[in-house]
Amino acid sequence: MNSRREFLQKLTASAMAFSILPEFENEITKYNNDQPYDGPVLRVAIMGLGSYGTRVAEAMQSCKMAKLTGVISGTPDKIKNWQTKYNIPEKNCYNYENFDSIKDNPDIDAVYVITPNALHHGQVIRVAKAGKHAICEKPMALNAKEGAEMVEACKKANVKLLVGYRMHFEPKTLEIIRMRNAGELGKVLFFQGLCGFRIGDPTQWRLNKQLAGGGSMMDIGIYAVNGSRYMIGEDPVWVTAQETKTDPIKFKEGVDETIQFQLGFPGGAVASCLSTYIMNNLDRFFLNGEKGFAELQPSTGYGPIKGRTNKGELDFPHVTHQTVQMDEMAAIILQGKQPVVPVDGEEGWKDMKIIDAIFLAAKTGKKTAIKW
């Protein structure tokens, strides 16, 4: 398997969609009805026309508040194909050298950066300087320093910076968060996040430190990092970590194969997580409290997500994650909507700060404090 995205797609491809419960009143159900929408629409250019960019583009065809209006790519053939498929005019097509001129294009309000990790920093800053809102795929940068610079650049340009946390809008995930906030699980004690798959092609950019910034942790591992935070509802204050490498040829210096890490939270909860590029069948979140528990398995795949708690199965309708994400992000940008779980640049920066600490703890073998 060549990428996290292929893994996530195949992991849940055979799962059956869940029936819609009549009592389900979550706002996400609006994507299942035929109510017309005649408000403002966020016009989006996608930067990076690879497999995930294609997935987002396809999902956006069902959006009500977001529309694909432009493309940015270094591959002319891809641009031509997208022009034909999505009816994108020539004037809305750019390459990586000239996309700064989007500043003069009223057809584009925001750019979704879906390129290798190492490119996010510079590209988001250029988007901000062009006066456009930036949506950046996760991880947002190579480290917390870059993330902070991206946040500052967008603030300075008075544009929004959002990060592609699609799970922050997923209904079963949001139901667990609601239960936790309502006290139905009691005091949160423990979280486990298992994220991994066997990566394929050894020449791909995800195994190139210069482009990826690491290995599994900068790809599939960020789900466990971010998931620990939104499931527990706090930011960790310490981390310990251990790295294991069984194939130093495929996983060269600076490219992690497997990292186990433990997080401590101010309320007393602890998390035990695994990020790996060498094991399949790992996509599980488990949250334990004094009064109950919640489990998601699959927890971060493209869906349907499966979940249960001490009260029984979670049975909410599945809607394509990227469709919901882009409509919700449009509402954030256009209407100032506040999501249940943040998806802004500061949220992405927090994950980078934790990942920096994980790498340091794995290198030194010491418990590392995380100061906010």
Segment 159-194, tens digit of pLDDT? 999 999 999 999 999 999 999 999 999 999 999 999
Please, what are the domains in the chain?
12-165 (3.40.50.720), 167-316+345-369 (3.30.360.10)
288: its two tokens: 């334990």
| Arithmetic mean of pLDDT, 350-362 | 98
Residues 295 and 161: their CA atoms lie apart, in Å, by 31
Beta carbons within 10 angstroms of residue 80's beta carbon: 15
Strands 307-309 and 270-276 come out as unpaired
d(CA 56, CA 70): 13
Mean pLDDT (whole number) for 278-285:
97
Q: Is pLDDT larger for residue 205 or for residue 4?
A: 205
- CA gap 343, 113 in Å, rounded: 15
Average pLDDT in the 278-289 region? 98
| Average pLDDT estimate for 141-162 | 98
Q: Residue 7: what pLDDT?
A: 52
Over range 218-222, report the average pLDDT: 98
Residue 5's pLDDT is what?
A: 57
| Residue 138: active-site member | yes
- Dihedral over alpha carbons 341, 344, 345, 347 (to 10 degrees): -10
pLDDT above 70 for 288: yes
Residue of 223, 230, 277, 302 with catalytic role:
223
pLDDT at residue 35 in the model: 77
Buried/exposed 37-71: b ≥16 CB within 10 Å, e otherwise: eeeebbbbbbbbbbebbbbbbebbeebbbbbbbbb
Per-residue pLDDT, averaged over 195-219, amounts to 97
**What is the rounded (10 degree) CA torsion for 9, 11, 15, 19?**
-60
Q: What is the pLDDT of residue 17?
A: 34
Residue 13: pLDDT band by 50, 70, 90 thresholds?
very low
Helices assigned H by DSSP within 110-258: 117-129, 144-156, 171-181, 209-212, 221-232
Q: State yes or no: cis peptide before 248, omega within 30 of 0.
A: no
For residue 23, pLDDT over 50 is answered with no
- Band of residue 33 on the pLDDT scale cut at 50, 70, 90: very low
Query: Is 134 a residue whose pLDDT tops 60?
Result: yes
Residues 6 or more apart whose CB falls under 8 angstroms from that of 281 comprise none
Which entry of 64, 132, 138, 353 is annotated as an active-site residue? 138
What is the pLDDT, as a whole number, of residue 8?
60
The yes-or-no verdict on residue 50 having pLDDT over 70 is: yes
- Report the b/e string of 101-130 with b at 16+ CB within 10 A: ebeebeebbbbbbbbbbbbbbbbbbbbbeb
Q: What's the chain's average pLDDT?
A: 93
To which residue do tokens 């097509």 refer? 93
- If one compares 8 and 347, the residue with the highest pLDDT of the two is 347
- Quick check: helix, strand or coil at residue 107? coil
Token reading at 67: 């529309």
As a whole number, mean pLDDT of residues 62-91 equals 98
Give me the pLDDT at residue 9, please.
57
Cα–Cα dist 291/210, whole Å: 46
